[in-house]
């Protein structure tokens, strides 16, 4: 399987997916930490890929996504954006309904 195939499979198989530096518990950069904080405030589970542990994905994803930086948040197969966009959406109240809807559609909600 090619790296691009792996990326496509990850995006297709996870309704909420964050490509980040580090892990949600131990982010390895400030941008990833801020993005995780905004996502966790939504109260739903999300998948993540630590791009520091996979150099191939780190190299190929910016080309595939046409987005040069990390983190990258993908919801329902669509690139939402990076740290600034996610944090702006969180502040404006747009992020939580998007994440809740994706989790509900996936049947993977943590809420009642």
Q: Establish whether 42 is an annotated binding residue.
A: no
Q: Establish whether 58 is an annotated binding residue.
A: yes
Q: Establish whether 87 is an annotated binding residue.
A: no
Q: Establish whether 96 is an annotated binding residue.
A: no
Q: Establish whether 70 is an annotated binding residue.
A: yes
Concatenating the DSSP letter of every residue in 22-72 gives B-SSSBSSHHHHHHHHHHHTTT---EEEEGGG-HHHHHHHHHHHT--SS-E
Residue ranges of the binding site for [2Fe-2S] cluster = 29
Residue ranges of the binding site = 21, 29, 58, 70, 83-84
Residue ranges of the binding site for glutathione = 21, 58, 70, 83-84
């Amino acid at each position: 399987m090619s790296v691009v195939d792996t990326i496509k499979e990850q995006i297709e198989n996870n309704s909420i997916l964050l490509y980040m530096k580090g892990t949600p518990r131990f982010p390895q950069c400030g941008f990833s930490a801020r993005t995780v904080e905004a996502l966790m405030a939504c109260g739903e589970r999300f998948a993540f890929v630590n791009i520091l542990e996979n150099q191939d994905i780190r190299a190929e994803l910016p080309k595939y996504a046409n987005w040069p930086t990390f983190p990258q948040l993908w919801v329902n197969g669509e690139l939402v954006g990076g740290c600034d966009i996610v944090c702006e959406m969180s502040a404006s109240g747009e992020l939580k309904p998007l994440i809740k809807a994706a989790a509900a559609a996936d049947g993977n909600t943590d809420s009642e």
